[in-house]
Amino acid sequence: MSESAPAIHALPQPYLLFLGDAAEPAYAKTAQGLRDWAGDLCVGEWSCGATISTGLPQLSPAEARGRGARALVIGVAHPGGAIPPEWIGSLIDALEAGLDIISGMHVRLAELAPLREAALRLGRRLIDVRTPPRGLPIANGRRRPGKRLLTVGTDCALGKKYTALALARGLVSRGVAADFRATGQTGILIAGSGVPIDAVVADFVAGAAEWLSPAASAEHWDVIEGQGSLFHPAYAGVSLGLLHGSQPDVFVVCHEPGRTQALGFAGFTLPAIEEVIELTMRLGRRTNPAIRCAGVSLNTARLDAEAADTLLAREGRRLGLPVADPMRGGAAFDRLLDGILHTGTAREVA
């Protein structure tokens, strides 16, 4: 049977991460996110021809079951959220090895007859986490108490989730009340709750964002995981609904240096960081006139420490904003947290 968005504590754990036949690391966000933020729940990885790796032990489903794994998590995604036919045999192998299957794809596992029949025959579960809660409201646009931060990006798959997780953790370390609000399947698996915003019917996206970050005490921060990009040729609608419904007081722009075109969309040039700031301000003022940019998060994973520090400092001077790689931490990250808390290091952009 298929289940809808269970709480993380109810999921069968630990996990074997399935990489399919992925060749592009950016499509393995779920596997990488679980490795980095819930590594104690992951016993290893398994693929059917993938050329990428999380660095976890390579295990067959039977080997993983022998090490205590209880579920296979589909850790990669194809554009559109489909499960390719060539994966089916491998997924059935996992069921036969005694593992349940957890998916964050758009397609429901039980809609695939071979998987459904195998799960019924073997008494295994097919669990879909990319299922929105029932009864989501249409947005009302009214301001609500509490403070909100939204991560926005120049493109997909470049660090919005990691930035939000790191910022929420950084705020808490300073004694600030803060919660990470997940809007994608990996974030939901990490946090144990959230709304898969790209699976919400379009009219309800802004309402779902309001529901996800409800009224709170005046000093409480909801740190909301961004999705897509306002400039994306396919996903900008999701990004706009999330912006309007979140009503962020603060946003942080995320970018991967060196990426010049939209991932998987050749011919679509990425916007400059300044363009993202300007458009986010202009559109965000519709539901929060006081919106401001606190700074920039750069994904410098491809750079060594010296090159990363040089780039962060140069971009900070150029933009007049705190610029950091949250995964590296350090003084630059502290300045970004200062910018969020408005200690005079952030600026408003007209």
Spans of all domains in the chain: 2-128, 147-340
CATH number for the segment(s) 2-128: 3.40.50.720
| Protein fold of 147-340 | Rossmann fold (3.40.50)
Q: Check if the beta carbon of residue 158 is closer than 8 Å to that of residue 148.
A: no
Above pLDDT 70, what percent of the chain?
A: 94
Would you call 269 helix, strand, or coil by DSSP?
Answer: strand
| Residue 215, Cβ density class (10 Å: 0-12 exposed, 13-18 middle, ≥19 buried) | exposed
pTM: 0.85
| Residue 181, Cβ density class (10 Å: 0-12 exposed, 13-18 middle, ≥19 buried) | buried
Q: How confident is the model at residue 4 (pLDDT cuts 50, 70, 90)?
A: very low
Dihedral sign (CA 340, 344, 346, 350): positive
pLDDT above 80: residue 348:
no
Residues in the chain: 350
147-340: same fold as 2-128?
yes
Would you call 197 helix, strand, or coil by DSSP?
Answer: helix
Q: Check if the beta carbon of residue 30 is closer than 8 Å to that of residue 75.
A: yes
Gap between the Cα atoms of 222 and 225, Å rounded: 10
State pLDDT tens for residues 188-223. Answer: 888 878 999 999 999 999 999 999 999 999 999 999
Mean pLDDT over residues 228-254, rounded? Answer: 97
Mean pLDDT over residues 311-324, rounded? Answer: 98
> 320: phi > 0 → left, psi -120 to 50 → alpha, else beta; which?
left
